[in-house]
Chain A
């Protein structure tokens, strides 16, 4: 029976990891799904930054305009525009199967954490060591040339280009 539990577990893992991007509506509770983003003054990636938002912060959707959400953060009662792709629905399901039976008793802490996060840094570390794959180049790419919004606007203005286009 351990075997059948394990077949079941692989499906449960992916189901639990399936929390994702979906169309949001006013009243929805969402969490920040990216490392960092911001409340902006207008529904535009080039809009003025009102407040920084960090990974997994909870927000409430107040208004939807195209791909942009006007959200409320209860912690400090701030409001602002966030791009819909920067938030996710909170993970659903947890460690309960569809019949409500808990299968958590047989899961290790590591498995529980993997179920919540899906493909994450732990999985990457295991994969990297199994494949003997170097991530030096990836880290180099990620750590250089991270620009602030101002640098991008300067770049566009110097080139005689539009900085209005980001308003959607």
Chain B
């Protein structure tokens, strides 16, 4: 009985291996335009699926490849919640109600003038208890700023630059694009493996949970280790400039922030330095986004007083 089970197991592993190699081969020699086509073709060749099913897989796959760009606000929210939970597995929340209230008032005001003011559950801002200079935004609108980053800001305008840059990553769906690029433009391993593992498992909910977990890892890997692309950072800066101008903040505060980051981070250092392009490289693009107009930096007493809640951060 045990022997028989082993033989079946081995056969199953061998079959999986063969199918995997075939999928990869078809993708490499480019005879299939999408991974789903490759899976469908291999499925057909190996007798896993019949012709009708192969056609359906191929067709459904075309929707799959656009699925992450087309994900609903509710799904973004649940992805965002878990990304936040994973970040909070590494970092601790900083317990300062006044400072947290302040960055939420400012952040939610900025988000209201972004090109994506409404999320499934709105935007939320929190402080991470670390000296590391860093900031994270999840697809669900959870924005986490480190104490180290807050210390670099000299006034409310610079704080607005930090927050609006992070809001822009949500608005431009950079987190979701991290799933898409790493999952769909690579060797396509994840979908292939997923499809194959599906064959051995009987619970679609379990598979969906696994896919959820893999998507989260794509995002947290980008946030914590590899960083967004230089172009994504520039796009986020440009969007931030437009938000700041809408509310009357001086967008050149973003340039001040980038200069402060340039002075205080090292490319091979922890956190921000290792996950972002050199701040100096972003300054020209930020200036370009501002155009020729000259913006005043008006700081009244109310602004000065409320910014003081960050004095001892």
Contacts and interface: CB of A to CB of B under 8 A. Distances in A.
Interface stretch (B80-88, B229-237, B257-265, B271-279): B80-88
B247 to A, nearest CB: 5
A147 B59 CA distance: 45
A145 B248 contact: no
B298 A119 contact: no
Nearest to B88: A137
A62 interface: no
B293 interface: no
A152 interface: yes
Contacts, number: 253
Contacts of B52: 99, 101
Nearest to A131: B213
Interface stretch (B1-9, B24-32, B119-127, B284-292): B119-127
B57 A11 contact: yes
Given A46-B112, A160-B303, A37 B85 contact: no
A115 B67 CA distance: 13
A166 B84 contact: no
Contacts of A98: 55-56, 59-60
Contacts of B104: 144-145, 147
A95 B216 CA distance: 27
B93 A137 contact: yes
A160 B63 contact: no
A18 B69 CA distance: 9
A111 interface: yes
A57 B150 CA distance: 40
- A18, A110, A111, A151: most-surrounded residue (chain B CB, <10 A): A18
B75 interface: yes
A51 interface: no
A146 B49 CA distance: 51
Interface residues of A, number: 78
B130 interface: no
A15 B85 contact: no
Given A4-B43, A6-B201, A88-B72, A99 B112 contact: no
A146 B119 CA distance: 13
Nearest to B12: A3
A133 B122 contact: no
Contacts of B63: 11, 14-15, 18
Contacts of A162: 246-248
A111 B204 CA distance: 6
Interface of B: 36, 39, 43, 48-50, 52-53, 55-57, 59-61, 63-64, 66-67, 69-75, 78-79, 81-82, 84-86, 88-89, 93, 97, 100-101, 104-106, 108-109, 112-113, 115-122, 124-126, 142, 156, 194-196, 198-202, 204-209, 211-213, 215-216, 245-249, 298, 300, 302-303, 306
7 contacts: A11-B36, A11-B57, A11-B195, A45-B112, A111-B205, A118-B74, A138-B84
Interface of A: 3-15, 17-22, 33-35, 37, 45-46, 55, 67, 83, 85-86, 88, 97-99, 101, 107, 110-111, 114-115, 117-124, 126-128, 130-131, 133-135, 137-138, 140-142, 144-147, 149, 151-152, 155-156, 158-162, 165-166, 168
